Structure 1
Amino acid sequence: MTPSTRSDASGTRPSADADPQADGVTGLSPGIGEAARHRRADALDGWLGRLLPLPPGVALIAVGGLGRRQCAPYGDLDLVLLHAGVPGMDELAPRLWYPIWDAGLRLDHSVRTVAEALSVAQDDVKVALGLLDARYVAGDRALAESLSHTATDHWRRTALRQLPALREITTVRWQAHGELAFLLEGDVKEAAGGLRDVGILRAIATAGITDALRPAVRAAHLRLLDVRDALHRQVGRRVDRLVAQERDGVAGLLGLDGGDTLLRRVAGDARTVSHALDDAWRAADRLRSGRGRRGADGRPLRRPVARDVVEQDGELVLARTAIGARPDPSISLRVAAAAATTGLPIARATCEWLAAYCPPLPAPWPPAARAALITLLGAGPGLVAAWETCDRYGLVDGWLPEWTRIRSLPQHNPVHRFTLDRHLVQTAFEASRHTRDVDRPDLLLLGGLLHDIGKGLPGAGPDAHEPADHSTAGVPLAEAVATRIGLPDAEVTLIGRLVRLHLLLPDVATRRDLTDPVTIAGVAERVGDTTTLDLLHALVRADAAATGPAAWSGWKGRLIAELVGRVRTALDTGELPAPPAPDPALVAGPLPAVHLGEDRVSVAAADRRGLLATVAGCLALHRLEVISADAATVDGRALVECRVQPRYGLAPDPIALSADLRRAVSGDVSVNQRLRGRALAARGSGAAARVVWHRAAATDAVVLELRAADAAGLLYRVTCALDEAGALVRAARIATLGGDVVDTFYLVGGWPADAERARLAAAVLAAAG
């Protein structure tokens, strides 16, 4: 290799997990905290400096974690062998790298001249950022300092030009790794708000664009480094993803009282980092676009956007007349509302002033504050960013003291994509899409913000799905908030009803027979009036959209709409709608008959036991999930109607499905053998299944509810078990909640005796096992 040639490589020798202390590296114990990181850096510096005498014109430089003296217990070494055109680097470099590999250390390395390093940094923004961490370890100190000073100076001169490329790379990384604040198993280095983003903030601060590393960011950074230290120590190797099985152990090493406390702290720190980076990007954009125009008097141009709020340099600041000895208590809410409606960020100095000087709101709130809150909640896309900014500066706690308890509270159900506090804000945003569908849009927005406020209380965990849990626990909290903000008593009561009943419509629509008069009468009685019904319907859609894609589907929306329509008829007229008549073609046509629709499968056959199980099994064989199933007997023939959806998104071959259904309901032995074999091979796993009985939930049946892990063919196995146990199923409803299902079966006949219920439950649990 000639002196002008560079080499780049990354590799690990065998025995990468070996203890480097055995090869002479001391002080690398997996301790936690800044002092431990500095000790590891000192130990590595000393060991690397003793490995090989370096000739004049050659220096060993550390970048990455060692360059920053932030060495994780099992982190990589990032080293540059810098030279001033010295010959023989081909022989020198391996003599340095091999002892490092032999010590069991992971190594990223390169050999470059100063000119080569700067040339690469010119073309690769990631390399440019890496050189900002360059630190002398051994050899020619003057050469090392020359590279460090030149790279820093070059970055300061070119940062504004290079930041767009860095932002593009960062966005791609965020898309790949997600947002650390809202992940149950996030990568503390690569995810948005993680350690990698702190490096970007450090680079922006080095360029002098803005003070990106404020005290709150520095504190968050140190805590995230501690988390990574503890994670390495817990696992015993390099790992940056905080997986669920290590969470409690990491929390214990950090002196925290559990995995949820750890998740909340990580989420809070990640949000601090993300907010600071958003602010830094905006500062760079302002410099690049030449904002900061001034008028003839030399003052910055200011544009009024709301009472006491003006725009300056693309940010919102307070009007001069608003800053006085006795500020208006509603001013922070009014600033937030202005930010949300205009889509403009609130200036950092304004947030700091509001946090320091805005007085607490009286109880009840003045009308201006209440109006500003509703404007904020109904602002649409600008709500989330404005709320997050206010929350970072502690303003939200002044509006809603309850927010402290729910901030960054994790939700462990996999259908949820956000922490509890963000979910509530997101629900209010989604509710703003439905304000024209209801008589009281203000109460819809407030209900969206408060609907899950009971989560996290004892007995009402953040992933609870039972209406009797967080829904009931949240009522007094929501009513207290509504009273404090100044709503009249009747509206306070309605807010409490929305919180109590916000799961009623989806639970009933997916778990109960919507043609049963008892179902409709029960919902109508609990809802009470069409105003509440419309609010609940809008809230359900907003809640599902805020939860995540798995919480909503077309069939679920149709079921809920059907329920709402039937309940509305009952509330308007006082009469319960008649159940739909069966398809005449099924009642009168030749047997067997099979009708396939877009999301329906209807079968008519000679009446016999086990027909529902046969149809369900055949549908499972063709990878169709059954959402609801109804069985009836008309003039001596059995009718089975199922609503279905493809299990993996691809519709089955209709000709093959129809043929198998005809053969199966006609008693074809080969098809039924295939059904039984496939069902037995698809058993669920996870927590033990559970059976719940419901009294007086149907007109002519007893309701058995099975809660179990989802698995293909589960409906077939359970309906077979019920049939073999002598129970007649007239309807079934299947609700999927992440990896679990709640399957509801309407068993014809009166309420069975205790022994009979126990026998049926045992048969169902054995089939679900």
Structure 2
Amino acid sequence: MTSFGERRVGLIETAAADQLPAALSALTDSWLAESYATEAAECGLGGANGASTGVALVAVGGYGRGELCPGSDIDLLLLHDDVDTGNLADRLWYPIWDEKLKLGHAVRSMSGTLELAASDTDTATALADARHLAGDATLTARLIEGVQSDWRANAAQRLDELHRSVSRRHSQSGEVAFLLEPDLKTGRGGLRDAHAIRWAQLAGVELPAADTERLDEAYQTLLRSRVDLHRTTGLRSDVLSADDQDAVAERSGAVDADAFMADIARAGRIIAFLSDQLWSTIARQSTALAVPDVDIAGLAVRDGELVIDGDPAADVVLVLHAAVQSARGGIPISRASLDKLAERQAQFPDPWPHGARALFVELLGCGHRAIDVIETLDYFDVWTRVLPEWAPNRNRPQRSRYHRFTVDRHLLEAVAEAARFTHRVARPDLLLMGALLHDIGKGYPGDHTQAGMRLAGPIARRCGWSPTDADTLVRLVQHHLLLTDIATRRDLDDPLTVATVARAAQTQEFLELLAVMTEADCLATGPMAWGDWTANLVSALVEMTSEHLSGSDSTPSTHRRLLTTDIVDLMAAGETALRVDGNVLTVVAPDERGLFSRAAGVLALRGLDVLQADAYSSPAGMAVSSFRIVPPDTPVDWDRVTYDVRRSLRGHLALEARIAERARVYRRRRALSATRAATSVTFDAESATGATIVEVRTEDHIGVLYKVTRVLAEMGLDIRSAKIQTLANEVVDAFYVVGPDGPVIDEAHQREVELALRHILA
């Protein structure tokens, strides 16, 4: 006879995802009921036919709902009516622990349980889903009736506590629909929000039948995904990480991970919207909210909601009036009005009616207050009647940890960030529209920038911008990555770097727009995209480009940032010298091939990530290498680092062997993406002064900079400067190198360098 554990494992492996929670709950029910009957009899608590008088085993929480997932807790209450249960609890709990299952357990009297439920909302919600398993069924029935009666009697207090709990959870867990790594259970729009709606219904709150049906469908989508996540990972986590999405999508039977995540996003949007609607309705009913009057034909405010009395089919711009008033005044559009918009809103014509563009820009200028309004309109398929090109980007995941949000939410977040900076530009309207359109091409085939450029011009002209302004918006889309790419991957001391940006910008006004839009885009992308280092580099690049455009810049000397007076003096001394200034290590030594690589190897050996590196070789035979490291979580032992660098320069440190050992022993601190980064090597002799740029993209791993620079040295290339950038699991390193025959590397040499790099990085 197979054991419970064997049957459980078999069920988890074979059952369909939509059937597993109920089947796993039923299997657990029968096992626990059998165990209870045996153990209760041993403790003298068994009644006729195995029933118990005054003692009951009760399933609560998710188990009470009959929704056990592979990683779910088994939440149990041993309930008694002031009866001595002896050691029954231990007899019940230990077999569960022996099966290595996570158990949530309590032993309480009826009076104590009801008292606790009356004072603690978490306990009350867990008991709201209580279900009888074994023992005295009348006792369980009394418990359920008592909890639900108290819940209804104190509905106002319960709903207020529940709403505050929902808000706290949302602030901690983010959103299911728009985060690229959503928490399926506790995120906004997750399973717990659906539970909260059900608990609110127990307090008398009503949900329309159509909404109930949509809620159930969305809930089942997330529950199935949670089952497949637990089965795939073997873990209890409910966060659908990028690492696991491909495997979970495959197990679920989805076409691919993008389609799978889009389904998750759709379900999350449905639950989040219905949750927001419910709590907004409760708040209006319980509190007299002060709302501003609206003096616009076709709109009115009633019971704290914005009501559309006009006909959206006859007046297409009415929806923008409503959206602006909702965002500016914080007045929700009534559900009846949203249904009216969904049914009757007409497609915006080409060109837009007079005044529509100004209202559209005003809505975007409302910043973060506009996001919920626009997403609500999109939920009802109304936003795409204003901007049809939006549709392919809805719920579209971005398979990169560099981004936090889906494409549609990222665009709205970028607009919201740009709205904070409109005072910094002469044309706020172009800034806001550029932020909205910069990634619009991601929902279309091919390169997203090229696709976005094709879309931006017609959109701008349809909205009513002049041909000149439309061209500006197209160029903002074209160059939206320019400043960060150049600032983080090119030598700012090279005159050609600034000339390249100036050639793209053309005017001070465009440079101003591009700089602010770049900052808004990066802030909306996530913390990996915009930190002090990136901000300072972009700011320096913009300042230098502005000077270039105005004709006031002087020709920069190469390596001016590296060759300070102190460094020049150290080089003149002709001795090896190491200097630490904050997070910057500078090595001055007699010039020899591989010096840069050995210093980089020591930093890798000590677990330090290089952010930026520069190098210079003087005619007098001295070399300087400078490394700016990523600020670590713990203080750096620089004495140890400099000691090891000196040893490596003397050839007394087996760097390659030690780095390989470190890579075997330690996992990379940075989590890797689900998709591996491919290796690519490119050469550019036209964008650098007196050097060739070798750009290497590859999977991030311990010692990658050491490996690359060692190969470059072995291939006879001297490194003049380097920019090191890490994007999630990918490194993008750019090296300014000079070959044995000068700054231009011939094609045959390039092929050999690429071959060597691909080999070492394979």
What TM-score range do you get, normalising by the shorter chain? 0.7 to 0.9
**Deviation larger for 689-698 or 340-349:** 340-349
Give the partner amino acid of 1:484.
R
Distance 2:325 2:78 in 1: 54
Distance in 2 separating the partners of 1:113 and 1:122: 14
Instruction: Report the residue type matching 2:387 in the other structure.
Output: L
Q: 1:285 to 1:408 in 2, by over 3 A?
A: same
| Range that drifts further, 697-706 or 746-755 | 746-755
Displacement, 1:644?
1.4
When residues 94 and 700 of structure 1 are mapped into structure 2, their CA distance, relative to the original with a 3 A threshold, is closer
Alignment pair present for 1:131 and 2:146: no
Call closer, same or farther: CA 1:349–1:591 in 2, change over 3 Å: farther
2:307 is aligned, of 311, 318, 331, to 318
> In 2, distance between residues paired with 1:142 and 1:677?
71
Superposition pairs of residues 157-168 of structure 1, within 5 angstroms? 157-168=153-164
Matches within 5 A, 1:128-527: 128-136=124-132, 142-171=138-167, 173-174=169-170, 177-211=173-207, 214-231=212-229, 240-243=238-241, 247-248=245-246, 250-252=248-250, 254-288=252-286, 290-291=287-288, 303-304=293-294, 308-313=298-303, 315-318=304-307, 322-324=309-311, 327-459=314-446, 469-527=447-505
Corresponding position: 1:541 with 2:519 = yes
Find the aligned partners of 1:439 and 1:760 in 2 and give their Cα distance: 48
Please report the TM-score for the alignment, with normalisation by the length of structure 1.
Answer: 0.83
Cα distance in 1, alignment partners of residues 31 and 601 from structure 2? 67
Structure 1 unaligned residues grouped into runs of 5+: 1-13, 294-300, 460-468
Counterparts in 2 of 1:511 and 1:20: CA distance versus 1, 3 Å: closer
Q: How far off its partner does 1:58 sit?
A: 5.4
Structure 1 pair 613/225, CA: closer, same or farther in 2 (3 Å)? closer
Which of 590, 593, 610 in structure 1 is aligned with 2:573? 590
Looking at structure 2, the residues matched to 590 and 660 of structure 1 have their Cα atoms a distance apart, in angstroms, of 22
1:64 matched to which residue of 2?
61
2:307 and 2:334 in contact (8 A); partners too: no
Secondary structure of residue in 2 paired with 1:191: coil
Letter in 1 for 2:389: E
Q: Is the 8 A contact 1:602 1:639 kept in 2?
A: no
1:420 and 1:72, CA in 2 relative to 1: closer, same or farther beyond 3 A?
same
Q: For residues 413 and 346 of structure 2, what CA distance do their matches in structure 1 show?
A: 27
Q: Distance in 2 between matches of 1:318 and 1:740?
A: 50
Q: 2:729 aligns with which of 726, 739, 755?
A: 739
Name the CA shift for 1:255/1:599 in 2 (closer, same or farther; >3 Å): closer
Q: CA deviation at 1:549?
A: 0.6
Q: Deviations over 1:29-75 (max 9, x none)?
A: 723437x7666667777777777421455555544345435455775
Q: Give, in angstroms, the shift of residue 302 of structure 1.
A: 7.0
Deviation at 1:625, TM superposition (A): 4.4
Residue 577 in structure 1 maps to residue 555 in structure 2 = yes
Assess, with a 3 A threshold, how the Cα gap between structure 1 residues 693 and 135 changes in structure 2: closer, same or farther: same
Q: In structure 1, how many angstroms separate the alpha carbons of the residues matched to 2:354 and 2:661? A: 63
Q: Distance in 2 between matches of 1:107 and 1:584?
A: 67
> What SS class does the counterpart of residue 352 from structure 1 fall into?
helix
- 473-482 vs 212-221, which deviates more? 212-221
CA distance change for structure 1 residues 103 and 426 in 2, over 3 Å: closer, same or farther? closer
CA distance in 2, matches of 1:114, 1:730: 78
| Separation of aligned partners in 1, 2:96 and 2:711 | 64
> Aligned partners of 1:643 and 1:699: how far apart in 2?
22
The equivalent residue for 2:620 is 636
Q: AA paired with 1:285? A: A
Q: Give the SS at the match of 1:561.
A: helix
* Partner Cα separation in structure 1 for residue 493 and residue 212 of structure 2: 61
Matched, 1:30 2:45: no
Please state how far the C-alpha of 1:186 moved relative to its aligned partner: 3.7
* Cα gap change, 1:639 to 1:247, in 2 (>3 Å): closer
CA distance in 2, matches of 1:441, 1:696: 36
Aligned amino acid, residue 134 of structure 1: A
Q: Distance in 1 between matches of 2:426 and 2:192?
A: 48
Contact 1:131/1:148 (<8 A) preserved: yes
Q: What amino acid is aligned across from residue 470 of structure 2 in structure 1?
A: V
Deviation sequence 1:350-391 (CA, Å, 0-9, x none): 322322233222122123322122111111231222222222
How many angstroms apart in 2 are the aligned matches of 1:426 and 1:251? 27
What CA deviation, in whole Å up to 9, does each residue of 1:604-633 have, x standing for no partner? Answer: 544444443455456656765444434334
Does residue 761 in structure 1 map to residue 724 in structure 2?
no
Mean CA deviation greater in 545-554 or 512-521: 512-521
Aligned counterparts of 2:93 and 2:143: Cα–Cα separation in 1: 21
Q: Deviations over 1:617-669 (max 9, x none)?
A: 566567654444343345625353636144415564677777877x579x545
Matches of 2:615 and 2:230 in 1, distance apart? 57
> Residue 599 of structure 1 contacts residue 645 of structure 1 at CA under 8 Å; is this kept in 2?
yes
Following the alignment from structure 2 to structure 1, what is the Cα–Cα distance between the partners of residues 16 and 695? 51
**How far is the alpha carbon of 1:536 from its aligned partner?**
1.2
Moved more, 342-351 or 172-181: 172-181
Count the aligned residue pairs: 727
